[in-house]
Chain A
Amino acid sequence: MTTTVAISGLTKTFTGVRALRGINLEIRAGEVLALLGENGAGKSTMLKILSGDYAPDDGTIALNGEHVVLRSSIDARRRGIRVIAQEPEIVHDVTVAENIFIGNLPRRARAFSAGRVRANTRDALAEYGFSDTLDAAALGGTLSPAQRQLVEIMRGLVDRPEVIAFDEPTSSLTENEVEALFRLIRRLRDDGVAVVYVSHRMHEIFRIADRVAVLRDGELAGVRELAETDEAELVRLMVGRDLGSLFQRTRVVDGAEVLRVEGLENDDVHDVNLTVRAGEVVALAGLIGAGRSELARTIIGDLPHREGSVSVDGVRVTLGSPADAIRAGIGLAPEERKAQALLLQRSVRDNMSLAILDRISRVRVVRRREERRIVAALIDRMRVRTPDMETEVRTLSGGNQQKVVLGRWLARRPKVLILDEPTRGVDVGAKAEIYAVIDELASSGTAVLVISSELPEVIGLADRILVMQGGRIVGEVDHADATEEAILALALPKSEPIVSA
């Protein structure tokens, strides 16, 4: 089998955090190489280097035996390397055809030909068997998550790349769509394309991959032929320890009901009822787009509601604004820490004290000594790795930034804390520390609602798991009975598949 890409000694460091260290790896033509690893293990960094978005600090990449430096994503694409993004950027107001050929629109002189781009798209869709799934003339804004994913895949395919990498392509696909995607991948492989498939879903890897490379904390933990390995070995390589030890459970759930949500209804959330007791960790599981983040924002009054109510300790909360919710004792640490939670250009201190300024101010003057004392204690307790509390938050690593976000709410100590994807993009060490903090919070009587797309995390962390789909809670699984399969079965829609054979 010919080696298409040979990577050697690849190293990349961000702010003192080593994202990749001395990776040696071959990507071969006519083979599906699975890249396995936890969030923060270095998979994304690896793909971003392949796509030309990041420059490695050290190490080389050889393409068909020739040493290459990928200067940008355009450069990588021109050389035949294509990375399919997990969350594709789709232009809402133009057609599928133009979305696919974006940046490379066929034209005569400078005149853009809408007819030609549409015809080219139809040909390409027919060639790969997606004519029934995607309408070339549909507008980008009308597409489902699966269709958006398909647009992104078609963008890559029309370039006829030599190397194609899929970054967790199935996270928003139903079972039938996954099957169609796998047929496509097998076909690409048989045509001699070198395929990289990034996922942390074990069963998918066993269905599609020929070889598996496992990354752990930025290092290559091992490469195995699929036929010669099993799930247990891969998990061991991936986690480096028993998965169970990441989670601790010192709490006993025996508190009274704190949060009660009844009949909550708006455009994204339908007739949601749930309760969380003091000291309990309840997880909201479901696919991307199931309405979990929207539910969280509705509970804190950040999205308008049509019907329903939220109460804390039996007292009904005014659902007007996050400020009302915070006064009533509900806090939300949102999904996107950089976009929604952090003041990146301000200090760790400013960020951690943001939600308690009203408490530590006298006649509007912030008591700075009190502030410093509280922040110092939190930095210590959460093991935030920062030179000092005046350091700008943007210079910290993802895990430490996330701890700052959590610290803001630890300072406030709300009765109910909603955490949306609290460990996204965080390394394993920081993850364990965040899990410990969540357990500690619950032990001290906080009612915790966690939204997570990582099933091992959901199972390890929660006392009860609520599964959402299409804005509704469709099932509840107790911690004792929870398996990934049981949760997935509830989370996947059973409606008509949009990808047909």
Chain B
Amino acid sequence: MTASKETRVSATTQPPALRAPESPPRPKSPARSLFARIGVQNLSLVIALILLIAVIGWQDPNFFRYQNLLSIGTSITVFGILAIVQTLVILLGALDISVGSVAGLTSVVSAMVFTSTASSWMGIGAALAAGLACGLVNGLIIVYGRVNAVIATLATLAAFKGLAQILSGGRSQGYTGNDPVFTALGRGTFLGIPVLIYLFVFIAVAAALVLKYTDIGRNIYAIGGNPTAARLSGINLNRYIVGVYVLVGTVAGLAGVLLTARTGSGQPVSGSEGLELESITAAALGGAALTGGKGTITGTVLAVILLGVLSNGLTVLGVNPFWQNVAKGALLVIAVVIQQRRSGQRAVGLPA
């Protein structure tokens, strides 16, 4: 009787969070304030990361070699920058499934424009502009066509991929391997660290700062958390939605350029296919709620690193790559189940 009563109470009142206000003000010890800054959500990712590294490193110390660590860094950059901007879209309460296709399309554009103009800067500029245009198309379809964001970008996922294949005839385009700018982007280093890693760090820090310190960031959280409240508080929702999709498109354009730089040619499909799901996986693993308004860049960055370490580690350990996909999927499900447990949701109907 007592036990059943207790479980019922917890099921109906969302206890953990509700009890918070009654607790006395926290003493500010350095360890605690560090915890507070990392956040409980992110702390579990940090712990998972440490455990994973410990296990892999114990199995094969080669994992810790400088070259291997750098290769993890460069391998996560392309999907990492997409995960960061995907986080922004998810914070708004939407999704962008088309990022992979945009990256493929812009990869082709960058290589083809480079080939015809012999200017790497023209190639890069054209790719970014094409990405921006793709994002604008997504945003306009969603806002003014009133099409659900998932459906809209599902449609453009197919359409942009088709465009990339038409432009390229389905073949890889051009050769950028001799161009100094492309090679610097793809394989260059600065102070011993690959340029790719700088790009990832730069985009992550910029996004985190904007979210935390500007009214733009606050408004993004507000729109995702409660669009009606945001609208009634005077926020122009349409401008933010279109703006974020344009940003995502442009960053996907950058991802396309990086794909070209790393492979040496414009790739319509290879390398970019599946990036949309990888970026969503990272954002969700990092604690971003698909309902919007909840999530952090720190969480996403940790998740990106975790996924990068996982796939590198499993490769180092010689695990069958097919199993790596199973591992990623299992990790995501476990992480989300833990999050939902913590938020005390009742197991009724479709989850929020």
* Closest CB in chain B relative to A161 CB, distance in Å: 22
CB atoms of A386 and B21 under 8 A apart: yes
CB atoms of B233 and A355 under 8 A apart: yes
Which chain B residues (197-234) contact chain A, with CB distance < 8 Å?
Answer: 213-216, 218-219, 221-222, 225-226, 228-234
Q: Which residue of A lies closest to B213 (CB)?
A: A365
Q: Which residue of A lies closest to B1 (CB)?
A: A69
Q: Is B320 an interface residue (CB 8 A)?
A: no
* Closest CB in chain B relative to A96 CB, distance in Å: 25
Contacts of B1 in A (CB 8 A): 69
CB atoms of B17 and A394 under 8 A apart: yes
CB atoms of B21 and A322 under 8 A apart: no
Q: How large is the interface on B (under 10, 10 to 19, 20 to 34, 35 or more residues)?
A: 35 or more
Contacts of B13 in A (CB 8 A): 14
CB atoms of A340 and B232 under 8 A apart: yes
Q: Which of A52-60, A128-136, A276-284, A458-466 contacts B (4 or more CB under 8 A)?
A: A52-60
Q: Is B347 an interface residue (CB 8 A)?
A: no
Given contacts A15-B18, A343-B225, A344-B226, whether A364 and B214 have CB atoms under 8 Å apart is yes
**Contact partner, A387, options B20, B214, B228, B233, Cβ 8 Å:** B20
Q: Is the interface of A mostly helix, strand, loop or mixed?
A: loop
In the complex, what distance in Å separates the CA atom of A69 from the CA atom of B7? 13
| Chain A 353-395 near chain B by CB (<8 Å), digits 1 or 0 | 1110110010011101000000000000000001110011011
CB atoms of A392 and B226 under 8 A apart: no
**Contact partner, B234, options A339, A355, A365, A387, Cβ 8 Å:** A355
**Contact partner, B232, options A53, A322, A388, Cβ 8 Å:** A322
CB atoms of A391 and B21 under 8 A apart: yes
Q: Is B93 an interface residue (CB 8 A)?
A: no
Which chain A residues (60-117) contact chain B, with CB distance < 8 Å?
Answer: 69, 71
**Contact partner, A341, options B9, B213, B215, B232, Cβ 8 Å:** B232
In the complex, what distance in Å separates the CA atom of A332 from the CA atom of B228? 12
Q: Is A327 an interface residue (CB 8 A)?
A: yes
In the complex, what distance in Å separates the CA atom of A14 from the CA atom of B230? 27
CB atoms of B21 and A345 under 8 A apart: no
Contacts of A325 in B (CB 8 A): 234
Q: Is A314 an interface residue (CB 8 A)?
A: no
In the complex, what distance in Å separates the CA atom of A366 from the CA atom of B225? 19
Contacts of A365 in B (CB 8 A): 213-215
Contacts of A339 in B (CB 8 A): 226, 228
Q: Is A346 an interface residue (CB 8 A)?
A: yes
CB atoms of B219 and A334 under 8 A apart: no
Contacts of A152 in B (CB 8 A): none
* Closest CB in chain B relative to A24 CB, distance in Å: 19
CB atoms of B21 and A16 under 8 A apart: yes
CB atoms of A354 and B21 under 8 A apart: no
Given contacts A321-B236, A350-B221, whether A345 and B215 have CB atoms under 8 Å apart is no
**Contact partner, A345, options B18, B218, B234, B294, Cβ 8 Å:** B294
Interface residues of B (CB under 8 A from A): 1, 4-5, 8-9, 12-13, 17-23, 25, 213-216, 218-219, 221-222, 225-226, 228-236, 293-294
Given A69-B1, A346-B222, A354-B222, 19 additional A-B pairs, CB 8 A? A15-B21, A16-B22, A55-B8, A69-B4, A322-B231, A322-B233, A327-B234, A342-B229, A344-B226, A353-B218, A354-B218, A355-B234, A357-B215, A364-B216, A366-B218, A394-B17, A395-B17, A396-B21, A408-B233
Interface residues of A (CB under 8 A from B): 14-16, 53-55, 57, 69, 71, 300, 302, 321-323, 325-327, 332, 334, 339-346, 350, 353-355, 357-358, 361, 364-366, 368, 386-388, 391-392, 394-396, 408
Instruction: Give the top 9 A-B pairs by smallest Cβ distance, nearest first.
Output: A343-B225, A326-B234, A357-B215, A55-B8, A323-B234, A340-B228, A364-B214, A355-B233, A361-B215
